[in-house]
Amino acid sequence: MSQYKDYQLVIVRHGESEWNKLNLFTGWRDCRLSEKGVEEAKAAGVTLKNDGFEFDVAHCSLLTRANQTLYLALDQMDAVWTPVKKHWRLNERHYGALQGANKIEAVEKFGEAQVKIWRRSYDVPPPPVETSSADFPAHDRRYKDVDPAELPKSESLKDVLARVMPYWENAVLPDLKAGKRVIIAAHGNSLRALLKYLEGVSDNDIIDVDLPTGIPKAYRLTADWKAADAKFLGDPAELERRINAVKAQTKKA
């Protein structure tokens, strides 16, 4: 019997994307997984299968890299039939005018301290884009039914939490309350926001919390649907390596 049989929720950040590989601010820009990211997603599925996880429903963002990760992981679990619910509220943080910029070049232009604030602070968003910009999501047909007033021009992590929570309360939580086992495939910041809520992480401490690509994190929940226990799955050394890779994205060689 699986040691994780009482864990109702798993979150997984997408595997390395082509833009992660190029060290670019991605945000709501759409890109596919890199070859390495494909292998990370498959490995996540193998880990979940080996640890005895089964899911009744999956939730995912509208961005390709998260959808690829979810499909590849479920494929390794022989469970691609799993019902999937997709929503823009699980998308990555919108990086505003930083989207498409190289992270090292941004550090050289604005300074490491300022870029760290934009990347990791709780309530300071990067400079916004104009509504005429191609980076304003209203110009993308996948958001055609969303009120443009709800779509971001730039976001802090606080803003991301504010848009993720209605989806948690109205879509994910009802599944959990119905006794369903849930996996969420999404992004570094949409999942950091959810993690902050579930684990009660402070505004200051969340700055130093990083989610590695492609490594599942499992939750056993309390009666009020907060984290009673949470743990990353798989090889601890690989977990540390991937977390350090995220931290190094704005460090000069």
Tell me what pLDDT residue 118 has.
Answer: 87
Count Cα atoms within 13 angstroms, Cβ side, for 136: 14
Tell me what pLDDT residue 244 has.
Answer: 75
Tell me what pLDDT residue 249 has.
Answer: 55
DSSP for 186-226 reads E-HHHHHHHHHHHHT--TTGGGG----TT--EEEEE-TTSS
Residue ranges in the chain modelled with pLDDT below 70 = 1, 246-253
Give the active site residue among 87, 92, 155, 187. Answer: 92
Tell me what pLDDT residue 238 has.
Answer: 82
18 annotated among ligand-binding-site residues: yes
47 annotated among ligand-binding-site residues: no
200 annotated among ligand-binding-site residues: no
How many Cβ atoms are within 10 Å of 90's Cβ, its own excluded? Answer: 28
Q: Residues 50-102: pLDDT tens digits?
A: 999 999 999 999 999 999 999 999 999 999 999 999 999 999 999 999 999 99
Q: Taking a C-beta distance cutoff of 8 angstroms, is the pair 161, 195 a contact?
A: no
Of all residues in the chain, what percent carry a pLDDT higher than 70?
96
Nearest to 36 by CA among 214, 161, 223: 214
139: annotated active-site residue? no
108 annotated among ligand-binding-site residues: no
14: annotated active-site residue? yes
Structural domains of the chain, ranges and CATH numbers in brackets:
9-94+156-250 (3.40.50.1240)
Extended beta strands in 61-196, E state: 84-86, 182-186
Give the active site residue among 14, 59, 87, 187. Answer: 14
